[in-house]
Amino acid sequence: MSPTTPHATPHATKAPYGDFDASIPSYEASGGDWADIAAEATQLGEERIVVNMGPQHPSTHGVLRLMLEIDGETVTEARCGVGYLHTGIEKNMEFRTWTQGVTFCTRMDYLAPLFQETAYCLAVEKLLGITDDIPERASIIRVLMMELNRIASHLVCLGTGGNEMGATTVMTISFTAREEILRIFEAVTGLRMNHAYVRPGGVVQDVPPDVVAQIRKADPLIRGYLAQLGDLMLANPIFKSRLVGVGHLNLSGCMALAITGPVLRSTGLPYDVRKAAPYCGYETYDFDVPTSDDADCYSRVVLRLEECYQSLRIVEQCLERLEATAGQPVMVGDKKIAWPAQLAIGSDGMGNSLDHIREIMGTSMEALIHHFKLVTEGFRVPVGQVFQSVEHPRGELGVHLVSDGGTRPYRAHFRDPSFNNLQAVAVMCEGGQVADVVVAVASLDPVLGGVDR
């Protein structure tokens, strides 16, 4: 029924058991809202064109739908439509053990899986009260993997953004550089993405003996690719004409919309969770938080490139610490929490080591029972709730977990930065050109797996 022009006509109806009863009225309601809109459009005499960009458009960074109202080439209204990639990950986590939850959250933002894994495990460890018991080597490995993942994620952002503007070489160089990092991930975790490598209490297994040398060999190659990207983009007059002054969003707009990450830092505010609320020992690492005052798409490209160099700076420090802690444990010592197997990478992928299988199957019935219960039922987490955040490539990633004392989360919810950052699309695009929408969305770097989750 319309709140403005309701029309209700009473009708006689039948009684509940089929007898006709004229004393019980029913109402047929009709509204005038659509008629009012049509009348207003007619009165204004304007022709409004509404077009869909997506959800299959190659420039919408996944299954994002943009509804644009345009006047010629000028965007007069821009709205986002999300939900096309909904996977129900958060709800599914309520029906899996705490450890199994890692295999779900790693698939949310598929370009930065290690950040979801680490944030989730840090939250579980807070609930368990074992934050200070996590081995130093495990925290070093977590930082190493996250910073490599940050570089890989930024490379996809820069590469796809360049490709959407016709700069195919930018994409090929970015993805070639990313391959160096994915090879490292595969050597350490057995997988190129969706690793489930970080677990409550530490990490699944130590890094291979030769991985430090592999990363040191890849470091100059990655730096070389980053230098090429800088040469191709930052001084290119065509590239600058497409980005400088486009997609402007100032500090007050970011604060009002809860925007974080490179978009926020492009306004001059050096907010970074690694500095503001350190985790995994980030307070002991030497790195800078680059900022800019331009608040446009070009400044966000510059910042992401600089963040890659800062991540490489952290990686170098991690390698030195890995060499100094060789042989130390990578999983908490409490066997009621620690995954009861030493995993190994073999020809069939990653699984329990043969030595562990021989022990639990042949020499220790207690170990076999413990392995069975911990894998099938999981460990219990004390009653409570916790919030943990990390600095994700796209901004602040938050995890809210609630435990009822059982072996699985009562509630798991993630504050994905892409979801919040997409609120800025209207502010950044309205009043600009249709072609600038592509650039503005690319500068936000949304990943819809994290948005819809």
CA 72 – CA 49 distance, rounded (Å): 9
Count CA within 13 A, CB hemisphere, residue 4. 7
Extract long-range pairs of 268-276: CB within 8 Å, 24+ residues apart.
268/292, 268/293, 268/295, 272/391, 273/389, 273/390, 273/391, 273/396, 274/390, 274/391
Q: Give the integer Cα–Cα distance in Å for 315 and 156.
A: 19
- pTM equals 0.85
- CB-CB contact of 287 with 310 (8 Å): yes
The residue to which tokens 């994409």 are assigned: 171
Q: Taking a C-beta distance cutoff of 8 angstroms, is the pair 273, 390 a contact? A: yes
Contact between residue 448 and residue 63 where contact means Cβ atoms under 8 Å apart? yes
For the chain, domains (ranges, CATH) are 1-31 (no CATH), 92-337+379-452 (1.10.645.10)
pLDDT, averaged in runs of 10, over the chain (453 residues): 44 48 60 66 71 76 85 87 89 92 92 95 95 94 96 94 88 95 93 91 90 95 95 90 91 93 94 95 95 93 95 96 92 79 55 67 72 81 95 95 94 94 92 90 90 87
Residues in a beta bridge with 351: 344
Q: What is the distance between the alpha carbons of residues 46 and 71, in angstroms, rounded to a whole number?
A: 10
Residue 165, pLDDT score: 86
H or E segment and range at residue 12: strand 7-14
Distances (CA, A) of 364 to 38, 224, 228, 338: 78, 53, 57, 18
pLDDT for the residue numbered 16: 46
**d(C-alpha 349, C-alpha 316), whole Å:** 28
For residue 333 the two structure tokens come to 């010592």
The size of the chain, in residues, is 453
pLDDT of res. 314: 97
- Record the tokens describing residue 303, joined without a space: 């910042």
Residue holding tokens 């004409």?
A: 241
Coil, helix or strand for 226? helix
Identify the DSSP state of 135.
-
Helix (H, G, I), strand (E, B) or coil at 263: helix
**Residue 41's pLDDT is what?**
65
Using H for helix, E for strand and C for coil, what is the string for 304-367? HHHHHHHHHHHHHHHHHHHHHCCCCCCECCCCCCCCCCCEEEECCEEEECHHHHHHHHHCCHHH
What is residue 271's predicted lDDT score, i.e. its pLDDT? 94
In DSSP terms, which residues pair with 14 in a beta bridge? Answer: 20
Q: Tell me how far apart the alpha carbons of residues 226 and 247 are, in angstroms, rounded to a whole number.
A: 24
Residue 261 per-residue DSSP state = T
> What's the CA gap between 328 and 315, in Å, rounded?
19
Structural contact between residues 197 and 149, judged by C-beta atoms closer than 8 angstroms: no
Identify any residues that bridge with 398 across adjacent strands, giving them in sequence order.
Answer: 389, 415
